[in-house]
Amino acid sequence: MISDWFLEPLQFSFMTRALIGTSLIALLSAFIGTFVVLKGLAFISDAIAHTAFSGMAVALLLGWNLNLGALLLGIFTAVGVTFLNRTAKLRNDTALAILFTGAFALGIILMATMPNFAGDLSSLLLGSVLSIRVQELYWIIAAFIGVGIMLKVTFHHLVFVAFDPVGAEAAGIPVVWLQTLLMIMISIAVVVSIQAVGVVLVMALLITPAATAALFTRNILKMMGLAASLGLFASWIGMYIAYYVAAPPGATIVVVATLQFALGLVISYLRQQQPLNTEGRRSS
Amino acid sequence: MNLAVEVNNLQVAYERNVVLDNVSWQVKRGTLAGIIGPNGGGKSTFLKSLLGMVPITKGTVRVLNQSSRLARPQVAYLPQREEVDWNFPITCFDVVLQGRLVHLKWWQKPSTADYEKARDSLALVGMVDYASRAIGALSGGQKQRVFIARALAQEAKLIIMDEPATGLDAVAQHELLDLFQQLKKEGHTVIVTTHDLNCIAEGFDTVLGLNRQVILSGIPSEVMNADILTELFARHFPVIKSTGEVTVHD
């Protein structure tokens, strides 16, 4: 029975925690990912994910909470990049790539030298959503609420800055402050997403659902809503497939999201082949 | 005197290169003012200095009788086309509503009155039917009208536009000039950079010719003559020597 198929995994508390965790992460990633996709911040987000990993290694060394370490180094990278972009006014892809891969490599060495942790390295790199504990779930809920409030409160101003940064600055909108806030929100989304899918795949949750949504709408709120639905769908389907075929859940979620994107590409291509609308352009 | 802009001996340098030097200019409130000059002559930099967005190495800039930074909420700037992300998924109405954000703190949301003001502003430029259209889908002239509506929603006293007529067809350029006249009648001061010398001669109250320094300044019909325009645009005239060598006069 389908209901049995659906209910069976929920008997296990680790699956329930994993589903709640990935659902919240998928929603958070979709909202923030919309800005990442629209403003082409994927590379910077990847850098944040890699330095956040080093932050975890340092936190482990100092006996801190892993999330705290990841968040601090992630935010440091995000704010540093915003500042560099503004003051140096140069394309710093190369410098950033050298810096974040270097920091990432250092993080791997640090982790490997810690005998108690070396075995869990792959869980950080590839995600370990099935081992989410209640305490980690609290972190995810706090991140979800915190970023949700920040985004709701600053939404109109963030959109102004993203659409027309020069006009916004000329009108006295605190552009640097808002750009920094966006980078902090990206850092938070990245750090909590690492729990679900790991450092290597974190970009997929952030970008793929938002990019798929962008194929279908020209309205930012609809894009966020669609990205959130797609992210949720990918998370649940991915978790269930992973449960029944004993596949790694993080990777399965990412594969489902990628298939969604591929399907989205095909559908949007077919829609473009339809006869022209002579009544005027669609507003969505 | 009640001035919209008062610039004295302005000097601006980028990386030790002086791009504007010894520029002085005054614009009365309620004036339609044009800025002309060759590419690279410092027009855009001059506009940014009025907005307090470039560091000044010498001189003073006063906007609406205060520092340019303090005047910002009363000044609307319409950037050059390439400075705006036209692919951003945003409707015309939401662009106009941005004009209201200038008067709100970053944590405040637009009120019903702000929404009404945005709708009225869109109506004033004849674009209310396009409210729910994506801005990126409009023509160049329509985009300019929406941005002017944003300036109206902002209740800006001074509206500064960088090359608004570039890329527009002749009809759209004339409509834009009519809109400038309408803004002027309503008491706004409008400052525009442009390459269209005819447009300046026909419809503007004052003109500033910039090529690193002030080359001409005053009422267009009095100051714009062939000799001075040649001097202003000199470095853009190619010189072909008898040997066939082509150089650009600088």
Whether chain B has a CB inside 8 Å of the CB on A120: the answer is no
Say if the Cβ atoms of B98 and A283 lie within 8 Å. no
Band of pLDDT at residue B106, cut at 50, 70 and 90: confident
Token pair 């980690």: residue: A136
Phi, psi of B104 (to 5 degrees): -110, 155
Query: Mind telling me how many Å the CA of A236 is from chain B's nearest CA?
Result: 28
Mean pLDDT calculated for residue range A104-116: 81
A 161-200 → B contacts, CB under 8 A = 162-174, 177-178
Mean pLDDT calculated for residue range B208-226: 85
Contacts of A284 (CB under 8 A, 6+ apart): A217, A218, A219, A222
A 245-274 → B contacts, CB under 8 A = none
Residues of B in contact with A165 (CB under 8 A): 83
Token pair 């540093």: residue: A80
Query: Mind telling me how many Å the CA of B238 is from chain A's nearest CA?
Result: 33
CA atoms of A220 and A162, how far apart (whole Å): 11
B181-197 residue pLDDT tens: 988 998 999 999 988 77
Give, as one character, the DSSP assignment of residue B42. S
pLDDT of residue A130: 82
Mean pLDDT calculated for residue range B160-186: 86
* SS3 state at B143: helix
Report the share of chain B in percent with pLDDT over 70.
93
pLDDT of residue A279: 56
pLDDT of residue A257: 95
pLDDT at A83 over 90: no
The C-alpha angle with vertex A233 and arms to A229 and A234, in degrees rounded to 5, equals: 120
* Interface with A, mutate which of B44, B98, B162 (most A CBs under 10 A): B98
Mean pLDDT calculated for residue range A192-218: 87
Q: pLDDT: is B190 or A132 the higher one? A: B190
Structure tokens at B107: 């944590």
Residue type, B119: R
B 59-98 → A contacts, CB under 8 A = 69, 72-73, 75-79, 83-85, 87-91, 94-95, 97-98
Report the share of chain A in percent with pLDDT over 70.
92
B115-163 residue pLDDT tens: 999 999 999 888 999 999 999 989 888 998 999 999 999 999 999 999 8
A223-264 residue pLDDT tens: 999 999 999 999 999 999 999 998 888 889 999 999 999 999
pLDDT at A45 over 90: no
Widest CA span in chain A: 68
Structure tokens at A76: 């440091």
Band of pLDDT at residue A103, cut at 50, 70 and 90: confident
Widest CA span in chain B: 71
pLDDT at B246 over 60: no
pLDDT of residue B158: 94
Say if CB A31 and CB A192 are below 8 A apart: no
Mean pLDDT calculated for residue range A90-110: 78
pLDDT of residue B14: 84
Contacts of A19 (CB under 8 A, 6+ apart): A9, A10, A235, A236, A239
pLDDT at A283 over 50: no
Report the share of chain A in percent with pLDDT over 90.
39
Whether chain B has a CB inside 8 Å of the CB on A159: the answer is yes
Q: Find which of A89-103, A114-128, A202-216, B225-239 is predicted with most confidence, using mean pLDDT.
A: A202-216
Whether chain A has a CB inside 8 Å of the CB on B106: the answer is yes
Closest CA in chain B for residue A150? B107
Band of pLDDT at residue B238, cut at 50, 70 and 90: low
Phi, psi of A104 (to 5 degrees): -65, -45
Structure tokens at A53: 């990993």
Helix (H) or strand (E) holding B73: none
- Bridge-based pairing state of the strands B32-36 and B213-218: unpaired
Query: Mind telling me how many Å the CA of A213 is from chain B's nearest CA?
Result: 12
Mean pLDDT calculated for residue range B150-178: 88
Say if the Cβ atoms of A170 and B77 lie within 8 Å. yes
Query: What is this model's ipTM?
Result: 0.83
Tell if the pTM clears 0.90, that is, is over it.
Answer: no
Token pair 């329509």: residue: B142
Token pair 């605190």: residue: A174
Say if the Cβ atoms of B78 and A167 lie within 8 Å. yes
Residue type, A154: T
Query: Which of A165, A168, A218 is opposite residue B89, by nearest beta carbon?
Result: A218
How would DSSP label each residue in chain A? -HHHHHHGGGGSHHHHHHHHHHHHHHHHHHHHHHHHHHTT-HHHHHHHHHHHHHHHHHHHHHT--HHHHHHHHHHHHHHHHHHHHHHH-S--HHHHHHHHHHHHHHHHHHHHH-TTTGGGHHHHHH--GGG--HHHHHHHHHHHHHHHHHHHHHHHHHHHHHH-HHHHHHTT--HHHHHHHHHHHHHHHHHHHHHHHHHHHHHHHHHHHHHHHHTT-S-HHHHHHHHHHHHHHHHHHHHHHHHHHT--HHHHHHHHHHHHHHHHHHHHHHHHTSPP-TT-----
pLDDT at A179 over 60: yes
Whether chain A has a CB inside 8 Å of the CB on B102: the answer is yes
Band of pLDDT at residue B235, cut at 50, 70 and 90: low
Closest CA in chain A for residue B75? A171
With the C-alpha atoms ordered A82, A83, A88, A89, is the resulting torsion angle positive or negative? positive
CA atoms of A259 and A267, how far apart (whole Å): 12
Residues of B in contact with A159 (CB under 8 A): 88, 90, 94, 98
pLDDT at B83 over 60: yes
pLDDT at A284 over 50: no
Say if the Cβ atoms of B88 and A220 lie within 8 Å. yes
Burial-class residue A273 by CB neighbours within 10 Å (0-12, 13-18, 19+).
exposed
Query: Which of A163, A171, A219 is opposite residue B84, by nearest beta carbon?
Result: A163
Query: Mind telling me how many Å the CA of B109 is from chain A's nearest CA?
Result: 7
Residues of B in contact with A162 (CB under 8 A): 85, 88
**3-class secondary structure per residue, A204-261:** HHHHHHHHHHHCCCCCHHHHHHHHHHHHHHHHHHHHHHHHHHCCCHHHHHHHHHHHHH
Of A116-125, B148-157, B168-177, give the lowest mean pLDDT range. Answer: A116-125
A211-227 residue pLDDT tens: 999 999 888 999 999 99
Rg (CA), chain A: 20
Closest CA in chain A for residue B47? A170
pLDDT at A159 over 60: yes
Q: Which CATH number among 3.40.50.300, 3.40.50.10860, 3.60.15.10, 1.10.4030.10 corresponds to the domain B3-85+156-249?
A: 3.40.50.300
Closest CA in chain B for residue A37? B88
* Mean pLDDT estimate for chain B: 87
Beta-bridge partner residues of B58: B11
State how far Cα B10 lies from the chain centre: 18
pLDDT of residue B243: 66
Mean pLDDT calculated for residue range B168-173: 82
Query: Which of B53, B72, B101 is opposite residue A160, by nearest beta carbon?
Result: B101
Say if CB B56 and CB B12 are below 8 A apart: yes
